[in-house]
Amino acid sequence: MRHVISALVQNQSGVLAHVAGMFAARGFNIDSLVVGRTEDPNLSRMTIVVVGDDRVLEQVRKQLAKLVPVVKVRDFADIAYVERDLMLIRVTVGPQHRPEVVELVNLFRGTVVDVAMDSVVVMLAGPEDKLEAFVDLVRPYGIAEMARTGVIAMSRGQQKNAAAKEDS
């Protein structure tokens, strides 16, 4: 089973190596790992995707929480959240087939960010399965290069209707 975990960590050198070392030492595989600044310059957020059963997830959460630079660990399993992945992909396509590729880009709500004689670079953001579907559709044209950020996630804000129901 796929699990998305967020770890708020102190923004200092060596933290990424420390966390990655913890995963390696215990034989846990990281499917995706993204680290970025937060609204607080002293903190960074790590978004980690781990594949494993509930026992593996519980071990990961406990081990992460024990690390000194880790301030807070959140598992998104039981809460509503938004996740996104960003991809840049260079599709090999000449002028004759470019309209077909641009139509696919528009259907997936992507953006063409560069056009050359024999290729286009597309920026696409969304859930991993959306990006994978796009890759499958443009593969016949030829993929020259691809770069992805990995998954980032954030809990959804509380909805007014949900808050009103809780008060009742």
- Domain boundaries in the chain? 2-75, 82-153
Contact in structure between 90 and 112 (CB atoms under 8 Å) = no
Domains 2-75 and 82-153 share a fold: yes
Model pLDDT for residues 56-68, shown as the tens digit of each residue:
888 888 888 888 7
In this predicted structure, what is the pLDDT of residue 167? 42
43 backbone dihedrals φ, ψ, rounded to 5°: -125, 150
Contact in structure between 162 and 79 (CB atoms under 8 Å) = no
Q: Which residue has the tokens 């004759």?
A: 96
Q: Which residue has the higher pLDDT, 101 or 63?
A: 101
- Mean per-residue pLDDT, 82-96: 96
In this predicted structure, what is the pLDDT of residue 168? 40
Q: Which two tokens stand for residue 86?
A: 């960003």
Question: Picking from 25-29, 69-73, 144-148, which range would have the lowest pLDDT averaged per residue?
Answer: 25-29
- Mean per-residue pLDDT, 27-37: 90
Q: How many CB atoms sit inside 10 A of residue 147's CB?
A: 10
Options 3.40.50.2000, 3.40.50.1010, 1.10.600.10, 3.30.70.1150; CATH of 82-153: 3.30.70.1150
Average pLDDT of every residue of the chain:
90
| H-assigned helices in the chain | 15-25, 54-66, 98-107, 128-138, 160-167
Question: What class has domain 2-75?
Answer: alpha beta
Q: Which residue has the higher pLDDT, 166 or 50?
A: 50
Model pLDDT for residues 128-164, shown as the tens digit of each residue:
999 999 999 999 999 999 999 999 999 998 766 654 4
- Mean per-residue pLDDT, 34-61: 90
Contact in structure between 93 and 101 (CB atoms under 8 Å) = yes
Q: Which of 163, 127, 162, 166 is nearest to 148 (CA)?
A: 127
- Mean per-residue pLDDT, 17-25: 88
- Facing residues of 50 across strands? 3, 30
Q: Is the pLDDT of residue 165 over 60?
A: no
